[in-house]
Structure 1
């Protein structure tokens, strides 16, 4: 497993597991829960705050998965390894343990209550939640300590040579590129979305939509020919992106880390945009507008060379037409 994938798994896994445990607890207790639920208790253990069951699941999803994302993005954007970020990883693990236990214990406190106002939760439950946070934090520290110290930075930019073509000769370059990260994100979003729809929560539909978009981008074909460059989904006519030759100034290639381009999927960043499937070989296009477009794909140097040749061949023709 590549270092960046292992780090993503290490950082995000506790939040996903905590969310899964809370949803499973909710599903198991569904017929025994009042509506609304007691979701806040005073110092005497009596309920003094209430939330509808559907809203509760939405809050759980937003808090746990949102917290995981907030920890994941800044952690992976740094080039140094998780060992140098042990405190942040341990903090994330501790947060997942605290929140996961707190949400699950709220459901257990509500189980079999005739009305939410009759539910109670003793203050010592807070001590157990803090203990769970400490155990998870220690686990996060241990896992981060086993990670490599640093990650390699982006490769150096290399100028692409022209591809020699005889006058009138045509050429096409095409490669298929896949993204295990996008495929995983698609599955992680779609499956919980389906579970949430099954239990009656409106949060599930947006998750399913996001999951299907990620699945559509998880494998694409990149084609370069006299029309320019086309990136098309592996199983559907859309999404599809085409940039004609007259919009491209020149092309280059270089090694690039996914996070240096803003992450996986379609990314909009300062000065341009990118389709990022994985780290590694990438094709960079400088557009006529001055902006840059990048796509990560194997054998990008050949694609860049062919594009530059086709661009040079196309420019005189454009001038003659003018």
Structure 2
């Protein structure tokens, strides 16, 4: 198995930065213990503080969440990431969540310094600090994901596996399809989104916190970019783009080991719909907006891209043909011996 690319970046953004941020935050938190009341606010309700307890009641769960996140994502950062999508996702989560938990801990403690706290009492709202924490965490996550690095070029060797369309030497063929969710998924998904937004607004109203609604609704525009995809196979390989041009997944023709057609179960294999990593993070990335027929592309370096799309057989056969042509051009040899 090939070594994971960009190992140093995985250590930096997946382990070092999360540990340093967490240690710095907890160093500050521990120096604040003498300035905290014996009983601090542990939970806020619509009418203010509704539960108090010793500082350990807040610090213990925050320590557990931070520690579990660091260990789990740090382990993933060092063991997965064969594809840029998975690598970017893991490193973004590792750095971003470390900043978020650190800021959350300091925000909830900071508003209680040198104060007397009791059930029913009011405190300065933490919303502004929580919003700042979320914004900084997102920025850090974006930086970590961007800096995770692109996949290095890894030429596939040997004959291409799978059925191939018959192409002449100079023939140029392009295959394109637009794929979206099924009507049933659109109907249920739309109803679910409406209920989710209503719940977010209701929760914000009863807690008197606009921050709650913003934080809950913020991911929805990103989710919308995952609903419709344009799939294209041409001389350059396979390219899959969201309807707005982003996100984008590309498999160069020279890195195609072979493309086949198979049936995909979005929930069973990828845990949902959209741009997904397989449940076992083995280097498989899926663009899955519905169940059923899909192009399954095996790439060099132990990577794989799965795309649910109509007429997948034609797309796979053309991709195999242009991949074999790419082999022929790179080696100056014959395309004989290809499977299919």
TM-score (norm 1): 0.48
Structure with the greater relative contact order (CA < 8 A, sep ≥ 6): 1 or 2? Answer: 2
| TM-score, L = length of structure 2 | 0.45
